[in-house]
């Protein structure tokens, strides 16, 4: 009867938009003790939009080396058109609007620094776009923006900075919507006795604001892409937990593979899907609950 129940379980999963790769993950899902959720594209829609921009000139009127807005946005758009990060899409879209769809300049050199941002050369100018922490590391002082940045981050927005030729130009806030069922799914999982953790490369304050909205109490933020798998391992080894990871990005793939059960968002990257045991086709986090319930029901039939 065992193989039959598993086949039935996998079939039922498929009916609910949950693709289970093997019998093993169906058997293991009922034992999950900790669920780690990526933020962008997993808890949120992953379709960020630019909501606020502030020029350094609004704060320090005589700040040196500030380029005109059209030059700035054409440079940002050009650089971000080379990036695959979800934020890049938002910045590119906004740059296109600001530059009235005039053709964006070509980029002479481009570099993506995982977890930090992008930089390169556009029309002879050195342009960087990224996190406050990275700007700090490069010796670019963004403290003038501090109060505003904190307010935006407390509202759940991600703030990035732009610099041209070593001069800070602007702060740009990007907002992403929480998926309709994320809070409900988190609550149900917690009621099932499972700890839910958020894992993100984004900053503490923004991560905490989004976590609060969906009822997640434990947040692992500012985690570099190459440290995400290690975080899963720590939960497995030090906390001795059976861990599931849910994610959508290329960055999440090693963590999805490291987890006891990796679950990919169906609308996410192929790499994340390939690294996972289960795919939630629609990306609705309620699918996690369904997968675990299916596992519990299937294994009950077997025993
Ligand atoms: P996440 O876990 O949210 O995918 P990442 O580690 O990919 O986070 O990125 C962390 C942070 O680095 C982002 O929140 C953003 O502030 C910055 N960043 C990454 N890529 C870009 C980019 N292309 N443009 C601007 N900022 C970026
Ligand atoms: Mg993501």
Question: Which tokens go with 222?
Answer: 């500012």
**Average pLDDT of every residue of the chain:** 95
Q: Is 0.80 topped by the overall pTM? A: yes
Q: How far is the CA of 201 from the centre of ligand 1 (A)?
A: 7
First-last CA distance in the chain: 10
What the chain holds in terms of domains, given with CATH numbers, is: 2-45+177-302 (3.40.50.1000), 49-175 (3.40.1110.10)
Instruction: Work out the average pLDDT over 224-238.
Output: 96
Tally DSSP H helices, then E strands, for the chain. 13, 13
- pLDDT at 302 exceeding the cut of 80: no
pLDDT in tens, 266-296: 999 999 999 999 999 999 999 999 999 999 9
What stretches of 16-117 show up as alpha helix (H) in DSSP? 23-28, 56-59, 69-80, 86-98
Backbone angles phi, psi at 191, to 5 degrees: -65, -30
212 carries an active-site annotation:
no
CA–CA gap between residue 135 and residue 117 (Å, rounded): 9
Q: Which ligand is nearest to the CA of 38?
A: 2
Q: Which ligand is nearest to the CA of 253?
A: 2
pLDDT in tens, 119-151: 999 999 999 999 999 999 999 999 999 999 999
Ligand 1 atom with minimal separation from the 203 CA: 14
DSSP H/E element including 199: strand 195-199
Q: How far is the CA of 85 from the centre of ligand 1 (A)?
A: 7
* Mutation test residue for ligand 1: of 43, 122, 160, the one with most atoms within 8 Å of CB: 160
């Amino acid at each position: 009867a065992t193989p039959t129940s598993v086949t039935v379980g996998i079939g039922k999963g498929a009916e609910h938009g949950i693709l289970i790769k093997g019998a093993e993950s169906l058997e293991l899902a009922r034992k999950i003790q900790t669920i780690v959720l990526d933020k962008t594209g997993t808890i949120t829609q992953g379709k960020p939009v630019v909501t606020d921009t502030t020029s350094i000139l609004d704060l320090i009127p005589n700040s040196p080396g500030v380029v005109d807005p059209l030059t700035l946005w054409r440079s940002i758009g050009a650089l971000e058109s080379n990036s695959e990060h979800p934020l890049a899409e938002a910045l590119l879209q906004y740059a296109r609007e600001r530059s009235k769809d005039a053709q964006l300049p070509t980029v002479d050199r481009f570099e993506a620094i995982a977890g930090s941002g992008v930089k390169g050369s556009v029309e002879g100018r050195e342009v960087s776009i990224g996190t406050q922490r990275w700007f700090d590391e490069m010796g670019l002082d963004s403290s003038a923006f501090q109060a505003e940045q904190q307010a935006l981050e407390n509202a759940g927005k991600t703030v990035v900075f732009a610099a041209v030729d070593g001069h800070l130009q602007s702060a740009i806030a990007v907002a992403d919507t929480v998926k309709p069922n994320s809070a409900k799914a988190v609550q149900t999982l917690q009621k099932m006795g499972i700890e839910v953790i958020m894992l993100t490369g984004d900053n503490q304050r923004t991560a905490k604001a989004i976590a609060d909205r969906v009822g997640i109490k434990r947040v692992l933020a500012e985690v570099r892409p190459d440290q995400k798998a290690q975080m899963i391992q720590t939960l497995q080894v030090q906390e001795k937990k059976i861990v599931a990871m849910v994610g959508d990005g290329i960055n999440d793939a090693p963590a999805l593979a490291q987890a006891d059960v990796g679950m990919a968002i169906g609308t996410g990257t192929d790499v994340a899907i390939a690294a996972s045991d289960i795919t939630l086709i629609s990306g609705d986090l309620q699918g996690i609950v369904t997968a675990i319930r299916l596992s519990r029901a299937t294994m009950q039939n077997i025993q």
